[in-house]
Structure 1
Amino acid sequence: MIRALLASLGFIGLAGGVQANCAGSAEACEIETGSYHIDLPKTESPPLVVFLHGYGGNGAATMRNKNMRDGLIARGYAVMAPNGSRQVGEGRGLSWNFFPGWEGRDEGAFLSEAVANAVKRFKVDPERVILSGFSAGGFMVSYLACATPDMFSAYTPVSGGFWRPHPTTCSGPVRMFHTHGWTDNVVPLEGRKLGGGKFQQGDIFAGLEIWRSANACPDNRPSSFSNTGPFMRRKWAGCADGSALELALFPGGHQVPQGWADMMADWYEGLPGS
């Protein structure tokens, strides 16, 4: 889907490109619908991880997470940190327009345009773009994966799933790797009420049931269990062709855990065609 958008915008086959003066700097790359930060490895046509910040954050703060950013760049990935569109209070940062029915920016269109811009300016690989995000960014990842599973080559949310009411169905098979802290009390595995009960975070395991249905998995039971350092992993196999579904739990709270970058990259690189 990203490649189709690039072709429609005339970005496929362009030589040169505009001045790439915002890579690796504090300056954001500006596009018509928003802005993003980006840092690049010293490789040609690298894959790209688009990492969405949490509630009250911004792209610059995401780039200061050296464990995540430097770990991915060392593996040869470019890292993009877009800026959300929803103001969360005076001086309190940004969030994402993820919940169905909210008015505001079309975040899927914005992210597609941001990736198209990065392909043109920095020559990242349009066929290998992973959408990741933390907390509110993880909610955004989950809703986009549900609505447009082919927009990105894989979806890897951290500490963020759906809100209630959960979606009844998702559009089709998806490649999904969800990471969550066992003691997360901001986005608990069971969810919680927000805004005096106006909103309610969903249940992560109920979300996994939705993903198993979307991926046409033959059984609710995981097909395998494994450990990667502190991460306890469970995987569902034998599902729809081209799909993937895995959960990794770690013994910590609301955070992007150390070691996530390598674990996620190993998972992605082990997928067919990645």
Structure 2
Amino acid sequence: MDTHLLTEGIAMTTSTVPNRLRGGKTVGLLATAIFSFLGLAEGASASGCGEALPAGRHDLSIQSDGIERSAVYFIPSAYDGKRKLPLVFDFHGSNSHPDGQMNRSRWDEVAEREGFIVMALQGSLDGSVPGTHAWNVPGVNPLPGVSRGNGLDEGQFIADAVETAKKSFCVDPARIYASGYSGGGRMLSQYVCDGHGDFAAAGFVMGLRAGYPEQEDGVWRPLKTSCQPAKPISIIAFSGLKDHVNPFAGGGKPYWQYGGEVAVKRWAELNGCDDRALTDKGEAVTVTTYPGCRAGASVMSYVIADATHDWPGRNIRFRLASTGEDAIREVDATGRMWDFFRSAGGELMAASSAKATCTDTTTTATNNKGGQGTACRQPVKPDLSAPGASEGL
């Protein structure tokens, strides 16, 4: 692994922030200290509203179960401490870290544009690559080379992080969302399965699960007793047919086994959606939607024909329908996820209805066969600040 990837990601977090929200390796911010300091010393409300904070990405330490845990948070320029903003949690894959994940997903870029907060947490396991980490996902063994010896209670940590964010920032508790990549998606899946109702919607990239894998009569499926969500939750999932790490068809490592389609169908069942799915099959992207879910929830799956285990970035574009005065536009997977979060699963337009708007129009190939998306087959500049696919499983 190129150590430049790690050092660059860490360097991006250095900034001038008030002592009350200073984190990092040397100065830890305990969750209890946040509340007392903000609430008592500065007179802020328990909601975390009160004053503006410096924009940008910052380190943070959170006390969970008597142990200091690490995180990174991003504050948009629009933050004034008065208006309650949405919050998105971003869960890294195995053999990665919070900065590497945010560099990969670019949630901070969308947050700056749309005006919300992002928080990326760090798993407790040491990754097989020095300086990286993985999640201690309940019910399954970690990846080869990742030791479970130092594994902590990740569910408690996530719950503590949610409470810390509510007390530290001006956050709308009804608009807290989460996304997970690969191992982070598996961790997020199990967190929701374990009955935590913190998130209004959740997005998954190459990592959606619906409980522990079990085998019966030679067939792998989710163990139903291992996934009992607290409430219906909107789910959006992105999968790649060329993903050989977490295969959409199933198989792979012992932690995986049942495929992505099985997981999506199980979440449709858990959300009480209609049995019959609506599928729009395109040349590059196939979109499956389950309507009629309880409590207004949505379940949506994007299967990308040429995608491997990478986060679908700017080389894969999704077209958003115009709403009101908003023009038709195209976004990457992160932008599509955000649109899903804020609109409770709003539909996309068919790609054949408008011209593609990729940044490199000379090499754009538009999907005109009914798919709800446009694949921009343009040269993609490598993201030198994000770990590669093999380093974030």
Which of 288, 293, 296 is residue 234 of structure 1 equivalent to? 288
Determine the structure 2 residue equivalent to 1:202: 258
Structure scoring higher RCO (CA < 8 A, sep ≥ 6) equals: 1
Matched residue type, 2:245: V
Superposition misfits of 4+ residues, deviation over 6 angstroms: 9-12, 15-23
Determine the structure 2 residue equivalent to 1:147: 194
Determine the structure 2 residue equivalent to 1:38: 73
Determine the structure 1 residue equivalent to 2:241: 182
Which of 216, 226, 237 is residue 272 of structure 2 equivalent to? 216
Q: What TM-score results when the alignment is normalised by the length of structure 2?
A: 0.59
Residue 263 (1) aligns with residue 336 (2): yes
Cα distance change, pair 261–89 in 1 and its aligned pair in 2 (3 A): closer
Cα distance change, pair 123–19 in 1 and its aligned pair in 2 (3 A): closer
Q: State whether residues 279 and 286 of structure 2, in contact with CA within 8 Å, keep that contact through their aligned partners in structure 1.
A: no
How far did 1:158 drift? 0.9
Which of 280, 289, 311 is residue 225 of structure 1 equivalent to? 280
Aligned equivalents of 2:293, 2:245: Cα separation in 1: 31
Which of 138, 147, 154 is residue 99 of structure 1 equivalent to? 138
User: In the TM superposition, what are the counterparts of 1:164-175 in structure 2 within 5 Å?
Assistant: 164-165=213-214, 166-169=222-225, 170-172=227-229, 173-175=232-234
Cα distance change, pair 180–77 in 1 and its aligned pair in 2 (3 A): farther
Residue 249 (1) aligns with residue 303 (2): yes
Which stretch has the larger CA shift, 260-269 or 116-125? 116-125
Q: State whether residues 204 and 238 of structure 2, in contact with CA within 8 Å, keep that contact through their aligned partners in structure 1.
A: yes
Q: State whether residues 177 and 200 of structure 2, in contact with CA within 8 Å, keep that contact through their aligned partners in structure 1.
A: yes
Aligned equivalents of 2:249, 2:223: Cα separation in 1: 16
Cα deviation digits, residues 84-113 of structure 1 (max 9, x gap) = 111123615111111327774222221121
Matched residue type, 2:56: G
How far did 1:255 drift? 1.6
Determine the structure 2 residue equivalent to 1:3: none
Aligned equivalents of 1:14, 1:204: Cα separation in 2: 40
Q: State whether residues 96 and 136 of structure 1, in contact with CA within 8 Å, keep that contact through their aligned partners in structure 2.
A: yes
**Unaligned stretches of 5+ in structure 1?**
1-5
User: In the TM superposition, what are the counterparts of 1:15-30 in structure 2 within 5 Å?
Assistant: 24-25=56-57, 27-30=58-61
Which stretch has the larger CA shift, 69-78 or 11-20? 11-20
How far did 1:21 drift? 8.1
How far did 1:29 drift? 0.3
**Unaligned stretches of 5+ in structure 2?**
1-31, 142-147, 215-221, 314-331, 346-393
Which stretch has the larger CA shift, 242-251 or 229-238? 229-238
Aligned equivalents of 1:54, 1:151: Cα separation in 2: 21
Cα distance change, pair 147–19 in 1 and its aligned pair in 2 (3 A): same
Higher alpha-carbon Rg: 2
Q: State whether residues 58 and 93 of structure 1, in contact with CA within 8 Å, keep that contact through their aligned partners in structure 2.
A: yes
Q: State whether residues 22 and 29 of structure 1, in contact with CA within 8 Å, keep that contact through their aligned partners in structure 2.
A: no
Cα distance change, pair 136–14 in 1 and its aligned pair in 2 (3 A): same
SS of equivalent residue, structure 1 residue 128: strand
Aligned equivalents of 2:121, 2:62: Cα separation in 1: 11
SS of equivalent residue, structure 2 residue 108: helix
RMSD after superposition: 3.1
Q: Share of identical aligned residues, percent?
A: 26
